[in-house]
Amino acid sequence: QVQLVESGGDLVQAGGSLRLSCKASGRIFIINNMGWYRQAPGKERELVASWTSGGTTNYADSVKGRFTISRDNAKNTVYLEMNSLKPEDTAVYYCYLRDLHYGRSYWGQGTQVTVSS
């Protein structure tokens, strides 16, 4: 069983920055993908950024150039650095880990990011 704990969500004004963290613990298979989804009220859940076991990173078009995902394998932690935040970035952000060996996915509890005008 894998557990994910997120932190870093906050209220911030437009143009500001936040850094989200997600720490994984438990029985973690080495070959896995980690990343971040977000969901705003009334909208579909959106993949924001991902980092695969092979080291490939991917970003949603809406956050390219503003958000950066990084991963510390020694600490089993993934980060999301968010810069130049916009009100439309307001959402609950969820960390995930996808175990590629067993095909299981794990989710954090979510952390609220609110960007004011």
pLDDT of residue 36: 98
CB atoms within 10 A of CB 43: 10
pLDDT in tens, the chain (117 residues): 899 999 999 999 999 999 999 999 998 877 889 999 999 999 999 999 999 888 899 999 999 999 999 999 888 899 999 999 999 999 999 999 999 988 999 999 999 999 999
Contacts of 78 (CB under 8 A, 6+ apart): 21, 22, 24, 34, 35, 36, 51, 69, 70, 71, 72, 95
Tokens describing residue 33: 């993908």
